[in-house]
Amino acid sequence: MDEALQPVNLKTDIYKNIFPEILFGENGKVKVFNNTDKEYYSLTKGVAVRCPDASVLSFSGETTPDFLNRICTKDVKNLPDGKTLRTLFTNERGKVIDRTTFINLGAGEYILVGNSEYRDKLHSWIQNYIYLENIEKKDVSDDFLILEISGPQANSFLTLICGNLVDKIEDNSLTPCNADGFIFNLFKLHNIRKQEKYWLMIELEKAEGFIKYIIDNNIVFDLSFIGTESFNIFRTEMGIPASPNEINLSFNPVEIGLAEEVSLKKGSYIGQEVISKLDSYEKIQRNLTGVIFDEIPENPESLPVHLNDSAGNDAGKLTTLVYSKKLKKHIGLAVIKKNYIESGEKLFVKLTNSSYSVKTTKLPFEK
């Protein structure tokens, strides 16, 4: 069974009621909650609360894991109750449709959390492969709010509101939590750099009160709600790919540093034949890497843009561009042909009708 898709609810009214200085980007996402410098400081030194604009699909039916296992890149069929797993959906050419988190809630209930940009695409892709399976699928993106808690002080802050549950929860697991009457699921996860982060998933009708509760309980912590501007700086410095910049149909998982989210041992899935041929570094033609600019125009053009060598030959694509708080320079993420990365050859990017030189560097960026 299935229900008609509705536009993603960005919870803008909730945010506007609580954060009077909030700024939204052209894509409708929160660009800045209060102050970019303060938000970045919380990401690197304190407690950062991010409200990822997620797509959330719920599934019920015992055959759900077996069905999804046939079309995603990781073995979700044997995932125990109360556990989570990062998995990708790829097309027949091995290109990434979406990066998701599969959650086994137990009792035959499952959740798949993806990116809002690909909500319709992922929904349709999965629907195409449901034939006779006894599965009920429902879009619940507008029923819940996910808060992502990260930063060096995240564990201590969550202990304040959740108690010793925070120390007991295992990696890639979930546990129900009750914080002064606010009931939600607490998830312990990590990013690709092995840094801990937590998800708090709460019903939308309780979300405004819960956000105020978090703010009111912030007594000693450097806590900020963070928007896309500060998060993009942080995740670029850390070399973390994101949609739609790096996670899209232009690249395969290995090229953008997500090889760990692909299984080469489980049964066949869509795109496996192509991806299995990339199981050794020698077979990869291009990789995600960092680039550093010495100078750059004030208003660079839209991404992605091509990178060229001194002879004008195509070297790759610049996918993300930010001003680094850590390096005090413009930096970016780029998917570049491997031979250019290994040789250290100077590359050039054309922005605003002028060419600018860039140098490649390993990820994450180091000061």
Within-domain flag for 24: yes
Within-domain flag for 42: yes
Q: How far apart are CA 248 and CA 30, in angstroms?
A: 21
Within-domain flag for 242: no
pLDDT score recorded for residue 280: 56
Residue after which a domain boundary falls, among 176, 203, 235? 235
Domain shared by 295 and 195, yes or no:
no
Within-domain flag for 259: no
The low-confidence residues of the chain, meaning pLDDT below 70, are 1-10, 279-282
Within-domain flag for 352: yes
Place of tokens 């309780």: 206
How many CA atoms within 13 Å lie on the side-chain side of 51?
A: 26
Q: Report the number of distinct structural domains present in the chain.
A: 2
Within-domain flag for 7: no
Task: Write the CATH number for 83.
Answer: 3.30.1360.120
Residue after which a domain boundary falls, among 216, 235, 254? 235
Domain shared by 198 and 50, yes or no:
yes
Q: In what order do the strands lie in the sheet with 136-139?
A: 84-90, 96-106, 109-115, 54-60, 136-139
pLDDT digits (tens, 9 = 90+) for 68-79: 999 999 999 999
pLDDT digits (tens, 9 = 90+) for 213-253: 999 999 999 999 999 999 999 999 999 999 999 999 999 99
pLDDT score recorded for residue 266: 84
Phi, psi torsion values for 323, nearest 5 degrees:
-100, 115
Domain shared by 27 and 162, yes or no:
yes
Domain shared by 133 and 231, yes or no:
yes
Within-domain flag for 187: yes
pLDDT score recorded for residue 18: 95
Domain shared by 221 and 294, yes or no:
no
Domain shared by 26 and 166, yes or no:
yes
pLDDT score recorded for residue 190: 97
Q: How far apart are CA 229 and CA 226, in angstroms?
A: 8
Task: Write the CATH number for 328.
Answer: 2.40.30.110
Domain shared by 298 and 177, yes or no:
no
Return all residues near 273 (Cβ < 8 A) that are at least 6 apart.
94
Domain shared by 82 and 159, yes or no:
yes
Domain shared by 93 and 201, yes or no:
yes
Residue span of the structural domain in which 135 resides: 12-235
* C-alpha dist (Å) from residue 310 to 91, 186, 342, 346: 35, 51, 16, 7
E strand map for 253-313: 286-293, 305-308
pLDDT score recorded for residue 282: 62
Domain shared by 153 and 296, yes or no:
no
Q: Work out the burial of residue 85: count CB atoms within 10 Å of its CB; fewer than 13 is exposed, 13-18 middle, 19 or more buried.
A: middle
Domain shared by 154 and 78, yes or no:
yes
Within-domain flag for 270: no
Domain shared by 171 and 289, yes or no:
no
pLDDT score recorded for residue 7: 36
Residue after which a domain boundary falls, among 175, 205, 235? 235
